[in-house]
Amino acid sequence: MSRPLTLLLVRHGQSEWNAAGLLQGQTADVPLTELGHAQAARAARELAGLRPGALISSDLRRAVQTAEHCVRATGLAVSTTPALREQGYGVLEGRPSRELWDVVDWTDPHWAAEGGESLAELHGRVAAFLEHLCAEPPADVVGLVTHGDTIRAAQAVAGGLGPDAMPAVTPHNGTVTRLEICR
């Protein structure tokens, strides 16, 4: 039996849109706040203590800025990929999250906003990425800097669950979630 691949999923620090209560999705150029940089630095120190051998990040700015803290703490180079992006919310991105509770069907994994991505599509994207990572792991322990819904999708995939059974709780900004997936 081969050893499991350990994933250390780092959720980006607080962004300006997190602070403002706006739905971000895949909006590319949303920077971290001062608090977000502090959260990212703390998460990077925690990540460094877990000794990853490789570092991969979402290509969205808030994740890349968090990954820069991880690079400084670990000494690793980082590669980016759109496969680790947040769920896309299309036309809803930039709107206040509190306005969307009556618009979004959070219970239907196949629902998507116009121009967006359903939870089922997010789950499929993350599953394909993790399958590729398992087939060609860059290290036994890999740090992934990403987003809340993407982490929930990875947790579901690792647990053999579908998009209708993704965990309900999103990890807080600037936290590290450990997952083991078989290879």
CB 122 within 8 A of CB 153: yes
User: Residues 37, 69, 86, 117: which is the catalytic one?
Assistant: 86
Rounded-to-integer distance, Cα 27 and Cα 128, Å = 22
Residue 152's nearest CA partner among 98, 84, 101, 92 is 84
68 catalytically annotated: no
Q: Label each residue of 35-76 as H, E or C.
A: HHHHHHHHHHHHHHHCCCCEEEEECCHHHHHHHHHHHHHHCC
Backbone angles phi, psi at 3, to 5 degrees: -75, 150
Q: In residues, how long is the chain? A: 183
12 catalytically annotated: yes
User: Residues 12, 37, 69, 147: which is the catalytic one?
Assistant: 12
Q: Encode burial over 71-107: b for 16+ CB neighbours within 10 A, e otherwise.
A: bebbebebebeebbbbbbbeebbeeebeeeeeebeee
- Quickly count: other Cβ atoms within 10 Å of residue 116's Cβ: 19
Active site (catalytic) residues:
12, 86
